Amino acid sequence: MALRKYKPTTAGTRWRIGNAYAEITTDTPEKSLLDVKTRTGGRNFQGRRAMRYIGGGHKKMYRIIDFKRDKKNIPATVASIEYDPNRTAFIALLNYVDGEKRYIIAPQGLQVGATVLSGDTVAPDLGNALQMKNMPLGTVVHNIEMQPGQGGKLVRSAGGSAQLSNKEERYAVLKMPSGELRKVLINCYATVGVVSNSDHSLQSMGKAGRNVWKGIRPRTRGVAMNPVDHPMGGGEGRASGGQPRSRTGQYSRGLKTRTKGKASDKLIIQRSNGKKLAK
């Protein structure tokens, strides 16, 4: 991974820290794997604004990603590592021996020309997808299924990884990126390796305009509003606004928002804060 520090030739580049894209091998996506990506601008079906601070931005095409990895026991060669504007991770274009092409989330260290496989009996090598029951303990994985055949749902963002820490009869115990210990069905597929672009969180936009290019409009602070507009608004002078909360009054610190009695609570062994759940 490599970051690029820009020369302060303008005010916008003075604080900008961007990605050097050293791993990217091409800037031309595979046309057969592109799809139209529609944008709402935060408007609902009536044309009224339902979400604030959304709108504008550069046009983007969606890259169709193979999260299921269901093309089993057919070798594929990595043709390129590419940038995807719809996600934080890089993606890899696979050319299968039967002629089909697919995109996958690129693991860290995957090189052009490498061969990857998916199947129940494949080796737990970088980029391979297999059931967690066939992986050795300590294996680092990403793109993890929650139900067999559903496709990867967990650990898909840049630099993310989970570690296979234990195996039980029906479940594999994973240590998630948050530190949470969680059970996942042992027959679920996962991809070996750490997700690429681990330095994504260290980037700095440098100016507000770069977020506008991404479709993110400027956000107004609640303390800068009037009392009629926000619970933190109003006051004499520059009042702090009291307890941080949302426009609807929901506290942003300390309030537990997870549904009580959620079905998957029984699969969580230990929370990210270190507290073990009572069984």
In this predicted structure, the answer to whether residue 276 has a pLDDT above a threshold of 80 is no
Q: What pLDDT is recorded for position 277?
A: 72
Distance from C-alpha of 144 to C-alpha of 188, rounded to nearest angstrom: 7
Q: pLDDT tens-digit profile of 42-54?
A: 999 999 999 999 9
Enclosing H/E stretch for 245 = none
Residue 163 token pair: 């570690």
* 249 part of a folded domain: no
Q: What percent of the chain has pLDDT over 90?
A: 90
Q: Is 223 helix (H, G, I), strand (E, B) or coil?
A: helix
Q: What pLDDT is recorded for position 278?
A: 56
Residue 203 token pair: 């980037």
**Which of the four pLDDT bands, split at 50, 70 and 90, describes residue 273?**
confident
* 171 part of a folded domain: yes
* 246 part of a folded domain: no
For residue 46, the one-letter residue type is Q
* 250 part of a folded domain: no
Q: pLDDT tens-digit profile of 46-83?
A: 999 999 999 999 999 999 999 999 999 999 999 999 99
* 236 part of a folded domain: no
pTM: 0.92
* 196 part of a folded domain: yes
Cα dist from 197 to 93, 112, 185, whole Å: 16, 16, 28
* 253 part of a folded domain: no
Q: What pLDDT is recorded for position 248?
A: 93
* 145 part of a folded domain: yes
Q: What pLDDT is recorded for position 128?
A: 97
CATH code, domain with 107: 2.40.50.140
In this predicted structure, the answer to whether residue 279 has a pLDDT above a threshold of 60 is no
| Structural domain harbouring 32 | 19-200+260-270
DSSP string, 158-211: TT--EEEEEE-SSEEEEE-TTS-EEEEETT-EEEES-BS-TTGGG-B--SHHHH
Domain count of the fold of the chain: 1
Q: pLDDT tens-digit profile of 18-30?
A: 999 999 999 999 9
For the chain, the average pLDDT equals 94
Q: What pLDDT is recorded for position 158?
A: 97
More confident residue, 113 or 264: 113
Question: Counting Cβ atoms within 10 Å, is residue 254 exposed (0-12), middle (13-18) or buried (19+)?
Answer: exposed
